Structure 1
Amino acid sequence: MHGTRRRPWRRPARTSAAFLAATALGFGLSPALATPAAAAAPTAVSVPGTFNSEIGCAGDWSTDCSQAQLTARTDGSGAWSKTFTLPAGDYAYKAAINKSWAENYGAKAQHFGADIPLRIPAGGRSVTFVYDPVTHWITDDINSKIVTASGSFQSEIGCSADWAPNCLKSWLQDIDGDGIYTWSTEAIPAGTYATKAAIGQSWDESYGQGGSPSGADIAFTVPETGSTVDFRYNSTTHVLSVQTEEPAGPAPGGTLGALYTPDQTTFRIWSPDNSQVSVTVGGQTHTMRPADVHGYTDVYQAVVPGNLKNQPYQFRVGNNSVRDPYARMVKPGTTEGVVVDAEAVQPTGGWAPRPAITKREDAVIYEMSVRNFTIDPSSGVDSAKRGKFAGLTQTGTTHNGAKTGIDHLKELGVTHVQLMPSYDFNSTVPNWGYDPLNFNVPEEQFSQFTSPEDRVREFKDMVNEYHKNGIRVLMDVVYNHTAGKGVLQDITGKYYHERELSGTGNSIDDSNPMVSRMILDSLEYWVRNYNIDGFRFDLMGVHQYKNVDQWAKHLQTTFPDRTLQIHGEPWSGGVDDPQQADKVRYGTTPALAGGHVGVFNGTFRDAVKGGTRDQVLGYMGGSSSSSAASVALGTRGSPLAVKSTSPLSDPWAAAFAYDPEQSINYVSAHDDLNLWDKITYSGVTGSRAAQMHRLGTGIVLTSQGIPFFYEGDEFQHSKVVDGDYETAKNSYEAGDDVNAIQWGEKTANAATFRYYKDAIALRKSTPALRLGSWDAVKAQMSTTIDGSVIVSAISSNTAAPTSHDTIVVHNPTSSAYVVNLPSGTWKKVLDTNGAANATGNTADSLAVTVFKKG
């Protein structure tokens, strides 16, 4: 993302404080407000409503009418209740605390919630109202059942006797109105007990084993005093089930989410604002309790026995069903996770060795979309695999005799593929997927399969096959925002920035330690479980640079043999950030050197290419010398003037790299106009456009740092259809006719492909183009500017730093340039057409020319 919005996000409407205050005193009461954090025990509870006049009040909606007051129960439950006789009619009511509207509760126990409708049948009837000051549930025995778990344990929890259906110490509640009534307690001592479900505080209606009316007692055992006992009554089947769990105590290690073993699954979620947390799995709802998990705070946990593999589960926080931010698998289109043993799933045939890489400057990175790369039939990929993870690594594919797919990448010579968003996103393809839902789940639209384990294996097979073919795999990760605030907001608002920084309306706030930990855990999960070789961070500039440094150092230390590649965009979503000095910028990049973190060198890009969406060409466009100094700096890897890991005072300093690996050099990416479309949009066509295209690419591939280019650039792929450049400027949701790779372009533009292939091969065989440190660049590379022509003399020998063996000439002019080569025998090895083997000292016009001493 380059300061542009991915999609037209819409903010929800806001309700004014004035409106809330006004409606709170009227008959149409206000939308829900936050429940008071620590409300004191009430001294009075009333049921103001439209029936108040019928029970003797002076008027309806009366909070202080004596006839509308409930009575505090004496059964130790803390509940309030009263029975009224009402005539037939349709009514509405709420619960008011302490004879005032200042604290009131409506439907689903919501503070300032909606009015609760009440229909009394013909002939009238008595109605019992009950209020719980802990959950704030106010209900009646017409809208709901008054369900108690009556049994041999009730005296142990404070009831006056066992088998007491009118003791609300064991009251089961259905706050969300789904017909499932639940109650949890830790107060039952160890022992074996029996229970039934009693309805209406009497034995007139009761259910025993299997939901049978007046059926046999339901036996259960509490294994240890302090164990959690969960009661669940299904009002449709009348089945009362009882589930016991061990006391939480100090929790074992691990992360959050659903942690599977064959014997039990541990469910954990961060909930800093709400203690009413549960998980439903296998038809049973389990109350989650605070757990002490090392490295985490405010964690709630439930340990559920049994083998739950592939079972869906649903977290609830308060009255909201919420997704699991740590889910390893999900049911598409829902907030339900799926319990999986993802770590145990192995790729077909087991893991192959990952390709060796000596240093990060040896990388050549190819950005690609899972869908775009193979969705067109011209890819030669089997129809069932097109646009899927499996299609990326199908070998033996061709079009018009030219290699396609992974065989094309091997022929091209790239070392890394960078996959555009590949974990679960909200949009429907074709779409780039920069709207994440679940950070740890492979995107189901890119899978051939529906079963959880098959989906996991397909992704692992894809990574493994790339490794077998000598190519590493990077993931484009979007931790800076989600598809909308609804993704995580119902868990806690602490996931999100108060200030919008991403341009999408829902930027993630990693200054919160638990949000930062979530991102770190996700990164480690992909490396450890899926064998990923590194990450590209979308809008890394939204993140705190100290957090990025911590994440990177943790990964590099935890996986010291991986040589992980980590880089990102050092900008936010085109907005002002008052905390900019704390975020990833060019100026803070030196402080990221210890974690080997690089950034996209947009300054170098703009100097070479010009603007990303305009018709102004930069250095590659002609003989203007205005950008030559900026290009020359970029060809050296944009090194710091003074070697230091301290942040710079200028956040946008062009000379920022402590090490060449920190400069990701590019002139084209998925955002904005790609290289070919930028050139043609600027009015250049024909052979000159092709030559200019090769010049821009040649500069990237012969500069210090890490080269990066976008899928299809190697054969002049265009995203312009019927002259529509506006769509090409931001094609994130354009159709396959715009974004899909058309493999016929490879043979149509074979000369450009050959140039890319030759330039990559030259880079890989020329150590002087891949210097590995700031000191090496300073000592072994001499760069001069002659008008617009940039000449760099480089030594590959650290012991003889001034004995230059490689000369690189960048010539944007319309005339050939004569180079003053040092003494010795020199060969021209790269010119405007690609690989060369010629003598002489002439550098072509509008071209990169490389000479090697030999």
Structure 2
Amino acid sequence: MHGTPARRTWRHRARTSSAVLAAIAMGLAIVPTLSTTARAETSPTAVSVPGTFNSEIGCAGDWVPSCTQAQLTARTDGSGAWSKTLSLPAGSHAYKAALNNNWADNYGANAQYYGSDISLQVPVGGKNVTFVYDPVTHWVTDDINHKIVTAGGSFQSELGCAADWAPDCLTSWLKDTNGDGTYTWSTTAIPAGIWTVKAAIGQSWNESYGQGGSPTGADISFTVPRSGSTVDFRYDSTTHVLTVQTEQPPDPGVAATLGALYTPTGTTFRIWSPDNSQVSVTVGGTTHALQRADINGYTDVYQAVVPGNWKNQPYQFRVGNNTVRDPYARMVKPGSTEGIVMDVAAIQPNGGWAPRPSITKREDAVIYEMSVRNFTIDASSGVDGAKRGKFAGLTQTGTTHNGAKTGIDHLKELGVTHVQLLPSFDFNSTVPNWGYDPLNYNVPEEQFSRFNAPEDRVREFQGMVNEFHKNGIRVIMDVVYNHTASKDVFQNITGKYYHQTELSGTGNSIDDGNPMVSRMIRDSLEYWVDTYNIDGFRFDLLGVHQYGNVDQWAKHLNAVFPDRTLQIHGEPWSGGVDDPQQAQKVRYGTTPVLAGGHVGVFNGAYRDTVKGGTRDRFLGYMGGSSSNTSAIALGMRGSPLATKNTSPLSNPWDPAFAYDPEQTINYVSAHDDLNIWDKITYSGVTGGPTGRAGQMNRFAAGMVLTSQGIPFFHEGDEFLHSKVVGGDYEAAKNSYESGDAVNAVQWGEKTANNATFRYYKDVIALRKNTPALRLGTWDAVKAQMATIVNGSVVTSAISSRADAPTSHDTVVVYNPTNSSVNVALPAGTWKKVLDTNGTTDSTGNTADGLAVTVFKKS
């Protein structure tokens, strides 16, 4: 940032409350009060470009936002933009955009509020430089650093331009706000019809690009199916290719997607083939050539309509000389690249769809991660032999072991709201294996099915989801769109499915930066929600994906299924590799951008603070560490942003990332690495289930279940399930392909460790019955929650009422020490409702050591 005295740094200062002063007087540390930074959202009355060149253009000095010569002019072309061309001397310069003749609202690089200065290198001899500012995105740029790209075409007069094919009308201006060389613009204002367009550079036709990115290329044609449809324009400044995608209305019909699209009189076969026009499909022993087709929302699609009734018949795509799988296949012939033609719209679970369990807000969720196989494969599950390790086994009721409920009845007794299934789509490996090696994204895994007939397999998966719903439990799918089993899965169609840089750690990471790959992922997600009534998705290595795409997928799903309250979250990291495009990927720092799509991320920072590393012997806070109490306090509050904003953070790994509590998935145990019980015993904690080790498990679980956000835990954690067989901790650290002896849930552990199970059950019930533990907004956390750190002990006083934010009715205490502490409760009559053993009903203000203690106001 330039530091001239004329430029003022504006900061809002929060007042110090009496509660804060009291805490300081008592020698306590208190979590900083959250604050917001205001920005102008109304149209500016003036826009200028103060910078180091101001004095050279006649201003009294540099960095003067009120200088007349630096003022941009409001355009009259209907775009709302401001622009001006200035004659600048050669040299290295810098500038920003300032609104209303002062520094109160200013924007720098990448449209950031109070962002970095924008560097400008004017060539020898000087140059006329055009500056442009957009008041909607706050992007300010110049035609040296960035091209001024417009979509000039036959539709521009419909948008308010004086004429069509007007390259100088910025109503159709494409912008590169993140500086990645890709310029984009979206609009819903183009009426229904067939239109043509080219990319114009520099507000003239002196440089322009048509089909294929050629300067002499033909006009690019696109169709808007209905007025109000979203049309997305994307210009690649390297290839000069302008692509246009039109959002289709939600319709499962033939015109909306790819794959094998069935009707009783003929099936339409479609596949994306951007590199090869020699495309065919073989069905019923006859091969049919596919022709290039103009499908709204897609590019480079080839299509053939084959007459006849091909229901449940196999088909085989071929591209060039290679047989290839259909990335959109709804069913496949196991062990082959053949798809099966399906009439999925006609398939429903037996008895029809039951109502989905209601949920008021996402913070009400309690998520239980499980494997289709592991949960019921052991005979102790009580599940019928033919159903063990199958989809149907997950929902068989009435099962017990030694008098204790197992299976779905156990989940109901425990009180979880969602199950999260490890990969259940078609994968390459044979079970037992977790299945993180996808082959066919839209096909249920046949090894988890009892049936061979295609329709029966679809109906079986539907029936599993339906039975969960009947029992009050929602279903989340673990999806692996970041990589495939190998490059052979899609490579013979086109290499454009895969990243040039390996990001997943498996050698075959998917590149959703390609619009057609991104669309495939979105279509797959929509298919699972529509056909199988899925309630949400957990993304493996969500950090491989561009956050802009993830945001678009989530917003699309929420718009198409507005009544579902879909749960969408994932891992905000890649496969342990450096990503040259990290700024565009999902990280903690880009999570605020995803707030509008209700997308959350796993809070690995809070996890590691609570339990230490996932494979080491360091125990973190649950082991008594007092060096990280501020991080515990932050996680307890739902890891809220310091300043409420939906812009990316400067630090991609900032642990204060949540715009909304629903964006943090709190956990200490998952399928990866050591589960919580094995972590505790591996670290040498003694005492067993009834001693210190068992108490530490309850302490960690209690923290997860009483922190703001969404709690998550792994199958068997609630009764100390161990994956250590014969003392082999190394296998337990990465048991993805270990046998059932390691991974299968052993239901005898529930009766053996019933006290731990009761604790989990009690805390889940307490969470459900305590609104203060499920605050729904950043503002609620800020106003209704006061958190104090005293040595190693972290205490939060919380109000459940937005209309009485300081009338705290719940107090939560985390005490990792070996001794009990006395808690200063607010005025009133209080009851202790949770201690180290679970539910209690007692008076007093002591909080036991190595325990979560909860007090509620009577």
Same fold (TM over 0.5): yes
CA contact (8 A) 2:406 2:747 kept: yes
In the alignment, structure 1 residue 666 sits paired with structure 2 residue 670: no
State the alpha-carbon separation in 2 of the partners of residues 473 and 287 from structure 1: 41
Q: Shift in Å at residue 252 of structure 1?
A: 5.6
- Give, in whole Å, the separation in 2 of the partners of 1:408 and 1:804: 34
Q: Distance in 2 between matches of 1:322 and 1:788?
A: 59
Distance in 2 separating the partners of 1:751 and 1:723: 24
Looking at structure 2, the residues matched to 322 and 647 of structure 1 have their Cα atoms a distance apart, in angstroms, of 40
SS at match of 1:315: strand
Is structure 2 residue 746 aligned with structure 1 residue 754? no
1:280 to 272, 282, 290: 282
Alignment match, 2:247: none
d(CA) in 1 for partners of 2:751 and 2:440?
A: 39
Q: 5 Å matches for 1:221-260? A: 253-260=255-262
CA offset digits 1:273-306 (Å, max 9, x no partner): 0000000001110000001110000000010111
Is 1:825–2:826 an aligned residue pair? no
Q: Which amino acid in the other structure matches residue 653 of structure 2?
A: W
Could you say what secondary structure the match of 2:735 adopts? coil
Residues 97-176 of structure 1 mapped to structure 2, 5 A cutoff: none
- Of 689, 702, 707 in structure 1, the residue corresponding to residue 706 of structure 2 is 702
Q: Does the alignment pair 1:838 with 2:842?
A: yes
Q: Give the counterpart of 1:773 among 759, 765, 777.
A: 777
Contact 1:329 1:338 in 2 (8 A): yes
Distance, in Å, in 2 between the alignment partners of 1:254 and 1:689 is: 55
State whether structure 2 residue 652 is matched by structure 1 residue 648.
no
Amino acid at match of 1:473: V
In the alignment, the residues of structure 1 paired with residue 659 and residue 433 of structure 2 have an alpha-carbon distance, to the nearest angstrom, of 36
Q: Give the corresponding residue for 1:504.
A: 506
Structure 2 partner of 1:739: 743
CA shift for structure 1 position 416: 0.2
- Contact 1:327–1:441 at 8 Å: present in 2 too? yes
Say which SS state the counterpart of residue 438 (structure 1) adopts.
Answer: strand
Per-residue CA shift, 1:218-251, capped at 9, x if unaligned? Answer: xxxxxxxxxxxxxxxxxxxxxxxxxxxxxxxxx9
Check conservation: 1:815, 1:845, Cα contact below 8 A. Answer: yes
Residue pair 2:374, 2:744 contacting (<8 A) in 1 also: yes
Structure 2 CA distance for aligned equivalents of residues 310 and 555 of structure 1: 28
On the 8 A contact 2:254/2:261 being kept in 1, the answer is no
How many pairs are equivalent? 603
Q: Is the 8 A contact 2:546 2:586 kept in 1?
A: yes
What is the deviation of 1:262?
Answer: 1.0
Q: Partner of 2:555: helix, strand, or coil?
A: helix
> Which whole-Å deviations, capped at 9, do the CAs of 1:171-195 have from their partners, x for residues lacking one?
xxxxxxxxxxxxxxxxxxxxxxxxx
Q: How far apart in 2 are the matches of 1:320 and 1:835?
A: 63
Q: Does 1:413 align with 2:415?
A: yes
Report the Cα offset of residue 823 of structure 1.
1.2
Pick one of 688, 708, 715 that aligns with 2:692: 688
Separation (CA, whole Å) in 1 of partners of 2:343 and 2:841:
56
- Distance in structure 1 (CA, Å) of the matches to 2:534 and 2:475: 6
**For 2:346 and 2:458, how far apart are their aligned partners in 1?**
10
Q: Which amino acid in structure 2 is aligned with residue 813 of structure 1?
A: T
Matches within 5 A, 1:398-547: 398-547=400-549
Indicate which of 846, 849, 856 corresponds to 1:852: 856
CA distance in 1, matches of 2:345, 2:363: 31
User: Cα deviations across residues 665-694 of structure 1 (Å, max 9, x unaligned)?
Assistant: 000000000000000000002210000000
Look up the match of 2:308.
306
For 1:764, the equivalent position in structure 2 comes to 768
Q: Which residue of 2 aligns with 1:720?
A: 724
Q: Which is greater in Rg?
A: 1
RMSD, aligned α-carbons: 0.7
SS of aligned partner of 1:792: strand
After TM superposition, the runs of 4+ consecutive aligned structure 1 residues lying more than 6 A away are: none
Match of 2:42 in 1: none
What corresponds to 1:109 in structure 2?
Answer: none
The residue type paired with residue 752 of structure 2 is A
Per-residue CA deviation, residues 114-167 of structure 1 (Å, 9 max, x unaligned), is: xxxxxxxxxxxxxxxxxxxxxxxxxxxxxxxxxxxxxxxxxxxxxxxxxxxxxx
1:389/1:458 contact within 8 Å kept: yes
Q: Which runs of 5+ in 1 are unaligned?
A: 1-250
Q: Which residue of 2 aligns with 1:192?
A: none
- Letter paired with 1:282: G
Does the aligned pair in 2 maintain the 1:415–1:472 contact within 8 Å?
yes
Which of 378, 381, 392 matches 1:379? Answer: 381
Q: 2:90 maps to what in 1?
A: none
2:658 aligns to what? 657
Contact 2:280–2:318 (Cα < 8 Å) also in 1: yes
Letter in 1 for 2:637: R
Alignment partner of 1:606 is 2:612: no
Q: Partners in 1 of 2:770 and 2:346 — Cα distance?
A: 42
SS in 2 for 1:330: coil
TM-score normalised by structure 2 residue count: 0.70
Aligned-partner residue type, residue 750 of structure 1? N
**3-state DSSP class of the match of 2:702?**
helix
For 1:683, the aligned partner's letter is G
Matched residue of 2:441: which SS?
A: coil
Structure 2 unpaired stretches of 5+: 1-252
> Is the partner of 2:256 in helix, strand or coil?
coil
Corresponding residue to 1:389 among 384, 388, 391: 391
Distance (whole Å) between structure 2 residues aligned to residue 628 and residue 744 of structure 1: 37
Q: Are the aligned partners of 1:311 and 1:339 in contact in 2 as well (CA < 8 Å)?
A: yes
- What does residue 41 of structure 1 align with? none
- Summarize the alignment of residues 238-387 of structure 1 with structure 2, pairs less than 5 Å apart: 253-387=255-389
Q: What is the CA–CA distance in structure 1 between the aligned matches of 2:682 and 2:628, rounded to whole Å?
A: 20
Contact 1:665 1:700 in 2 (8 A): yes
Any conservation in 1 of the 2:279–2:320 contact (CA below 8 Å)? yes
Q: Aligned AA for 1:362?
A: D
Q: 1:736 to 1:252 in 2, by over 3 A?
A: closer
SS of 1:439's equivalent in the other structure is: strand
Contact 2:536–2:568 (CA under 8 A) maintained in structure 1: yes
How far did 1:343 drift? Answer: 2.3
Q: In structure 2, what is the equivalent of residue 805 of structure 1?
A: 809
Find the aligned partners of 2:629 and 2:683 in 1 and give their Cα distance: 20
Partner of 2:226: none
Q: 1: distance between equivalents of 2:711 and 2:465?
A: 21
Q: Tell me by how many angstroms 1:350 deviates.
A: 0.2
Match of 2:117 in 1: none
Q: Could you say which residue in structure 2 is the equivalent of 1:792? A: 796
Classify 1:400/1:287 alpha carbon distance in 2 versus 1 (closer, same or farther; 3 Å). same
Q: TM-score, normalised by structure 1?
A: 0.70
8 Å contact from structure 2 (residues 254, 268) kept in 1: no
CA distance in 2, matches of 1:751, 1:469: 25
What amino acid does structure 1 have at the position aligned with 2:641? L
Match of 1:677 in 2: 678
Instruction: Indicate whether 1:638 and 2:643 are aligned.
Output: no
1:344 deviation in Å? Answer: 1.3
8 A Cα contact 1:252 1:293, kept in partner: no
Q: Which residue of 1 aligns with 2:622?
A: 620
CA distance in 1, matches of 2:662, 2:402: 38
Residue type of the partner of 1:840?
A: G
Inter-partner Cα distance in structure 2 for 1:568 and 1:621: 27
* 1:740 CA drift (Å): 0.3
Whole-angstrom distance in 1 between the partners of 2:650 and 2:490:
35
